[in-house]
Amino acid sequence: MNDLDFPILSAIVLLPAAAAAVVALLPKNRPDVIRLVGFLAALAVGVLTVVLAFAFDAGDAAYQFVSQHNWIEDLGVSWIVGVDGISLFLVVLTGVLFPIALIGPKVHRDVKSYTAWMLVLEAGCLGSFLSLDLFVFFLFFEVTLVPMYFIIGGWGYDNRVYASIKFFLYTLFGSAFMLVGMLALVYLSAKGKPVTFDVRELAERGTLAESTARWLFLAFTAAFAVKIPLFPVHTWLPDAHTEAPTAGSVILAGVLLKLGTYGILRFAVTLFPAAAVDLAPLLLTLATIGIIYGALVATVQKDLKRLVAYSSVAHLGFIVLGTFALTNQGVAGGVLQMVNHGLSTGALFLLVGMIYERRHTRQISELNGLQKSMPVMAAVFTVVMLSSVGLPGLNGFVGEFLILIGTFITHRWWAVVATAGVILAALYLLWAYQRVFHGTPTGDNVGLPDMTWRERAVMAPLVVLIVFLGVYPKPVLDRINPSVEALVSRIEKATDHRQPAVATRHEVDGE
Amino acid sequence: MLDNAFLIPLLPLLGFCVLVAAGKRAGEPAAGWIGASAVGASFLFTLVAFFELLGREQGARSVGDHLFTWIEVGGFRVDAGLLLDPLSITMALFVTGVGFLIHVYSIGYMHGDERFSKFFVYLNLFVFSMLMLILGDSLLLTFLGWEGVGACSYLLISFWFERESAASAGKKAFVVNRIGDFGFMIAMFLCFATFGTLQYAGIIEGAEGAPHTTVTAIALLLFVGACGKSAQLPLFVWLPDAMEGPTPVSALIHAATMVTAGVYLMARAAPLLALTPDVGTTIAIVGAATALFAATIACAQDDIKRVLAYSTISQLGYMFLAVGSGAYVAAIFHMVTHAFFKALLFLGAGSVIHGLHDEQDMKRMGALKKWMPVTSATFVIGWLAIAGVPPFAGFWSKDDILLNAYEKSPALWAVGLLTALLTAYYMSRQVFLVFWGEERWRKAPVADKLELTEPEPVGDQAAVAVAPALMGPGDQVATGHGDHAAVADGHPAAGHGAHGREPHESPWLMTGPLVVLAVLSVVAGFVNLPFGSWARLEHWLEPVFEESLHHVDATSSTKLTLALVAIAAAGAGLAFAYATFMKAKRVDAYEPAILKRAWGIDAIYAAVIVTPGRALSAFLAYVVDAKVIDGVVNSLGTLVRGGGGVLRKVQTGYVRNYALGVAFGATLLLGWVVVRSGGV
Amino acid sequence: MSVGGEWYLTLAAALFTIGAVGVLVRRNVLVMFMCVELMLNAVNLTFVTFARMLNDIGGQSLVFFVLVVAAAEVVVGLGIIVAIFRRRVGATADDLHLLKG
């Protein structure tokens, strides 16, 4: 492993940032060049992330490709990037989604700023996933807000100003808790030892009192819960999703929300295992409520994008559920589901965007019979929808099932209630599909052009991944598992939490 | 062949892939033949595997075929592996066999449809999923197929999506099935938590040592899943609506194969059921109740396909009655014979609908015997088979079930017997109305116009189908049936307008499969005759069930008596229908409104579940989300803004004011420092 | 009679007060500006005095910083004032309350 003799992770983070700078220098009146440069940069990052996934050593639970440089020595702040099974596929997901989001939807004005902001956003997301220094993570975590704010506010729909400000303030509000928690953690962990923001080091120190750890856990979780978003702090999401331009929605759902679930796993749970075990019932309950609540609210939405947004609330609830099951299956399922949700919801937003480009409306009541004139779009939509519903053989099922089975063995009743959410998912998506695609087209819905080749090319990688991850998720799970198992056994060492025997690998079967 | 068993499901999958890629280009009828040959080849492979298995000695007739590891996390591991044993091979045989026939039939039936190739795409995917369901060696693989067939069913029911009713029916089927799947999923979780595996072998091995309540819970939850898929009480409501799909779909999915998946699952779970007799009793009661319940409804339906749909529910009830009585072989036996004769009846009905240009109302049929000789002859065989007339297939399998039910409890037997009587009645009613009597289709149906506007049962497709024939341009009756245009261009018969109103026999592509199925409906009974060594199916399936199988220990005279009573019941039903519809020449008789509305179950569900559910969702969305949660968020915003409004007054814009503030602050700070340091 | 450090400090305090009062009460922008300079230099004087009294060169060196900054500030400040006077004739500080909330 690690036979790449250049700092690939730093390159992955810095390349989009550099590309953003380049784009900023390009002349404004050449949108085609700007789009091409932006796309190629994002594509290069995507290729790098895929290379990373192949170079990644599947058997190793530790951080790989770590590179470390001191930055602010007195404060113990360093540039540390590293990747493990938990972050690997989020990085790949980011690498895959950004080129698609950049080239897919049309941009109706000011391509230059748009492309630059998107690239800054990509750098921020990748930096957040790869950074192992709490301080640098926080910087990247906050940096992502700015481009997203401008993308929603600058290229969104009618109510974009309200939505972008709500998005910004809501998440910033949560982050404030994290900032305090982070400083307190570093200060309290530094007693008699050098100050450090290195997550690996902080996790090992563990000198916190029980109640302190609990408060700090809550502070971190507050920030991430808003980002995820967990019920009841989810209301920024439907507005932001609905008003954001298509690419914004894709990235928001596909990548930005994962910062929350990833952060919970990487920081909240890793740094405060005892508190995570103690407070798991609370978070499981919120997650379960989110699953049912998001699904029920989605059923009565009149706006297609809003419906998908609420479905995200439900899906992210599943991820949190799996995470706080604190079993191999639950956590690994959660990590996998982060990727799955990014793919299928990203694809759904792209499709809704394509419908919008044709009909200039997202109101479900104004759409009907689209399958008549757009059979290919309907077919792609069906696949993506079924993936979102959790049909076995497509990606959504594997993650969802692992989460539920992992939760069931430790928290039975939560899993049972959450499983009911699976029924509801079928209800709201199929109902929406019926109203939009089925029936006889009337009015403006007659004779719409089907997907263009460009649109097909944009959707193709997503559909391929959706099917592949559903049929053969093993390569992905093999890379996720060691890190997840290490994390769960770390929690077991630190607390009296124990997974049931069935959850761990047993050698009886003669492996 | 046993080593290459993966070819059995792989071929339809390949067919699916080829059709997705090139189906449209292949066009009609090539796409149909591609689909049919994939399934046909799969049938041949299954046949080879069957004979290889047959060549082995009894104990060695279970072969596993591990393909690859599907999901593995910690101790949770699911392999993509196939399990070939007598049970799965039996199922695979009739799924691929009947599937092939129906593919061929569909080439004729779907002739002229604008989405001809897509139909076969779905059909092939369905056969693949069904085979995974059957051949999978773990609960999760079965679940993969289970959901797969559900999805295909959804796609095929709403195949003519231009019709609102078809779209709704597809969605309803999927969602109701999902309710059952909820039980299936929880059962899998429990299995994993208890046994640490989802493989059938591991579960059966561990079942003995597991706590009784857990096993009971697993068995019950699996049964919930089976109820959804096999349309048992209370989850049967989707199946009648599923008749919105093209008729071959109704035959393949909603009669012969998919709906029997629940029975198959129960048969697989036989060792668990053997440990929990209470669950068995529950299943038997639900099965018997469903059988009777659906049979009563079938007596009052006018739509030719709806009669068959309720009949299917009723026959599935029989199978569950058998499963609950421990008579798994009888259940499988009936499943096989039912697959033959019900597929035959559905395809026959399709042929009739096709020949009558999309007429589905039996009251507008009649005397078709003369016009459609092949269809009517084969339909009659199907009728005799389902009615339980010896020596047709249905008699033997139904008799087997009734005998076992009698040993479980005479009350269950009585319900089964009553159902048999009703079955004979409603099937005879159908046959007499469709093939004998007057040529009612000649009559201009103007007289019935008023009836059309009356409220009719949900999914009123008879009226929808007949609407185009009724309508002059701009006719006001069209309101409420506005989707008729979609029927016309969605349906294969669109190209038949030139033929006029005379019924016609269907092409050989359609009648051919009818003949084959008719032959099977006659002879299928002989695979399991209740005479010692003639019970071949029982000997063949025995190693699968072993001691969980209930063995009949009634005396020969009891058996004979029961059989005679059953024949008498069938005869009674038949005779009664004959008297009513042939002698008295009545068209409508004994059709209470409540039965036409299927006991109003749909309305009850709408009132109890759908409406409150929708109200709750609306409450959450428009009150809790928009007012309460967002209210708090927005009022926080307002609060901050208000506070700012107050504080902005401080900013006068005059430099001196600011300077004064600075001076004042500095003085204050200085004072504080001086006081703190004890300088004063 | 030797002139002790207290004298210097008293002078500095007086200069500072004059400057502060000037900023507060005058309306003429230029005069206010000069008052600010007065305050700065009062502080400078304090620095030098303390450096001398405590024998610490730090205070002296800090004066250089203040001088440099003050010079820079004068450049910017005068520039702004000139710009203002070009736009409106005889403006007083109170006329420029565009930042009123």
B649 with C101: Cβ contact below 8 A:
yes
**What does residue B182 show for φ and ψ, rounded to 5 degrees?**
-55, -50
User: What are the CA-CA distances from residue B33 to residues A221, B15, B36, B375 (Å)?
Assistant: 59, 10, 5, 23
SS3 (DSSP) at B66: strand
- What gap in Å lies between CA A173 and CA A179, rounded to an integer? 10
Give CA angle at B521 (B87, B306), nearest 5°. 95
**Are C24 and B651 within 8 A, CB to CB?**
no
Give residue-wise pLDDT tens across range B327-382.
899 999 999 999 999 999 999 999 998 888 888 888 888 788 888 888 999 999 99
DSSP string, B347-404: HHHHHHHHHTTS--BGGG---TTTT-HHHHHHHHHHHHHHHT-TTSHHHHHHHHHHHH
> Which of A156-170, B187-201, B470-484 is least confident?
B470-484
Distance CA B514, CA B382 (A): 10
Which chain B residues are Cβ-neighbours of C32 within 8 angstroms?
655
Cα Dmax for chain B? 125
B/C interface, count of CB pairs below 8 Å: 35
**DSSP string for A395-427:** HHHHHHHHHHHHHHTT-HHHHHHHHHHHHHHHH
- CA-wise closest residue to A389 among A302, A315, A334: A315
Contact C93 B648 (CB under 8 A): no
For C2, other C-beta atoms within 10 Å of its C-beta total 4
The pair phi, psi for residue B679, each rounded to 5°, is: -70, -20
* Longest Cα–Cα distance in chain C: 55
Please give the model's pTM, rounded to 2 decimal places.
Answer: 0.87
Nearest to A297 among B75, B170, B620 (CB): B620
Cα gap A486→B490, rounded to integer Å: 57
Instruction: From residue A167, give the alpha-carbon distance in Å to each of A163, A243, B30, B633.
Output: 6, 11, 55, 11
Q: Which pair of tokens denotes residue A220?
A: 């971190």
- Give which of B649, B650, B654, B658 to mutate to test C binding, by max C Cβ within 10 Å: B654
Percent helix, strand, coil in chain B, to 5, is: 75, 5, 20
Q: Is the peptide bond before B211 cis (omega within 30 degrees of 0)?
A: no
Please tell me which chains touch A, using 3 or more CB pairs under 8 Å as the contact test.
Answer: B
Chain A interface test: which of B6, B66, B67, B71 (most A C-beta within 10 Å):
B71
Task: Name the one residue in this structure whose structure tokens are 């007499």.
Answer: B432
Tokens describing residue C31: 């005069």
- Tell me if chain A has a CB within 8 Å of the CB of B113: no
Task: List, for residues A257-277, the tens digit of each pLDDT value.
Answer: 999 999 999 999 999 999 999
Q: Which two tokens stand for residue A305?
A: 């994008």
CA distance B172 to B228: 12
Q: What is the mean pLDDT of residues B412-424?
A: 93
Residue recorded with tokens 């339980």: B388
Identify the pLDDT of residue B660: 87
Residue B579 has pLDDT above 60, yes or no: yes
Question: Count of alpha carbons within 13 Å of A10, Cβ hemisphere only?
Answer: 11
- Tokens 């209210």 sit on residue: B631
The sign of the CA dihedral A453, A454, A455, A458 is positive
Other Cβ atoms within 10 Å of B24 Cβ, number = 15
Nearest to A300 among B77, B181, B618 (CB): B618
- In terms of Cβ atoms closer than 10 Å to its own Cβ (0-12, 13-18, 19+), residue A29 is exposed
pLDDT of amino acid C1: 61
What confidence score (pLDDT) does residue B677 get?
85
* Residue A231, burial from CB neighbour count under 10 angstroms (0-12, 13-18, 19+): buried
Compute the distance between CA of residue A232 and CA of residue A174 in angstroms, rounded to an integer. Answer: 13
CA distance B142 to A219: 44
- C-alpha dist (Å) from residue B626 to A303, A428, B32, B508, B634: 15, 19, 52, 62, 10
Rounded CA Rg of chain C: 17
Give ipTM to 2 decimals. 0.92
Region B401-415 average pLDDT:
91
Q: Tell me the pLDDT tens digit for each residue of B157-170.
A: 999 998 889 999 99
| Whole-number pLDDT of residue B498 | 38
Burial letters for B40-57: b for 16+ Cβ neighbours within 10 Å, e otherwise?
bbbbebbbbbbebbeeee
| Contact yes or no for C94 and B656 at CB 8 A | yes
Neighbouring subunits of B (3+ Cβ pairs under 8 A):
A, C
Q: Looking at residue C33, which CATH number applies to its domain? A: 1.10.287.3510
- Partner A, chain B 600-619, Cβ-Cβ below 8 Å: 613-614, 616-618
Looking at residue B199, what DSSP letter applies?
Answer: B
Q: Which residues of C touch B656 (CB under 8 A)?
A: 23-25, 93-94
Nearest to B85 by CA among B138, B135, B31: B135
**pLDDT of B490 strictly over 60:** no
* Distance between B623 CA and the closest CA of chain C, angstroms: 37
Residue C43 pLDDT > 80: yes
The set of chains that have 3 or more CB pairs under 8 A with C is B
Q: Are the C-beta atoms of residues C14 and C33 closer than 8 Å to each other? A: no
Q: Is the pLDDT of residue B259 over 60?
A: yes
Query: Please, which residues bridge with residue B657 across strands?
Result: none
At residue B47, what are phi and psi to the nearest 5 degrees?
Answer: -60, -45
Comparing CA positions, the residue from B301, B311, B178, B325 lying closest to residue B590 is B301
Nearest to A384 by CA among A480, A326, A467: A467
Q: Please answer whether residues B225 and B181 qualify as being in contact, where contact means their C-beta atoms are separated by less than 8 angstroms.
A: yes
Contacts of B382 (CB under 8 A, 6+ apart): B341, B342, B344, B345, B348, B517, B518, B521
Report the 3 state secondary structure along A425-439: HHHHHHHHHHHHHCC
DSSP label at residue A276: H
Q: Which of B40, B13, B84, B91 is nearest to B261 (CA)?
A: B91
Cβ contact, residue pair A430, B617, below 8 Å: no
Mean of all residue pLDDT scores within chain B: 85
Longest C-alpha distance within chain A, in Å?
74
Distance CA A417, CA B543 (A): 39
Chains C and A touch, contact meaning at least 3 pairs of CB atoms under 8 angstroms apart: no
Which of the 8 DSSP states describes residue B68? E
Q: Do B660 and C24 touch (CB under 8 A)?
A: yes
pLDDT at res. A3: 56
Q: Which residues of C touch B659 (CB under 8 A)?
A: 20, 23-24
Q: How many CB atoms lie within 10 A of CB B293?
A: 23
Given this model, what pLDDT does residue B582 score?
83
Q: A123, A7, A11, A15: which is closest to A65 by C-alpha? A: A7
pLDDT value for B366: 79
A and B touching (3 or more beta-carbon pairs closer than 8 Å): yes
Q: Which candidate from B76, B175, B625 shows the least CB-CB separation from A426?
A: B175
Is pLDDT of B480 > 80? no
Contact present, B316 and B255 (Cβ < 8 Å): no
> Structure tokens of A192?
């008699």
- Distance from the B498 Cα atom to the nearest Cα atom in chain A, whole angstroms: 25
- Helix-strand-coil split of chain A, %, nearest 5: 75, 5, 20
pLDDT less than 70: residues of chain A: 1-4, 506-511
Choose among B36, B164, C45: nearest CA to A440.
B164
DSSP 8-state assignment for residue B257: S
Q: Is A351 left (phi over 0), alpha (psi -120 to 50) or beta?
A: alpha
Minimum CA–CA partner of A408 in chain B: B189
Distance CA(B170)–CA(B150), nearest Å, equals 10
Instruction: Residue C56: give the domain boundaries.
Output: 5-100
Chain B interface, best mutation among A438, A467, A476, by max B CB count within 10 A: A438
Give the DSSP letter string of chain C.
Answer: ----HHHHHHHHHHHHHHHHHHHHH---HHHHHHHHHHHHHHHHHHHHHHHHHHT-HHHHHHHHHHHHHHHHHHHHHHHHHHHHHHHSTT--GGG--TT--
Provide the H-helix boundaries in A81-144.
85-103, 111-130, 134-143
- Per-residue pLDDT for B654 more than 90? no
Q: Which residues 597-656 on chain B approach chain C with CB closer than 8 angstroms? A: 647-656
Within a 10 A sphere around the Cβ of B66, how many other Cβ atoms? Answer: 11
Touch between chain C and chain B: 3 or more Cβ pairs under 8 Å: yes
How many independent structural domains does chain C possess?
Answer: 1
Spell out which chain C residues touch chain B, with contact meaning CB-CB distance below 8 angstroms.
20, 23-25, 32, 93-94, 96-101
Return the residue in C24, C38, C92 with the most chain B beta carbons within 10 A, the one to mutate for interface testing.
C24
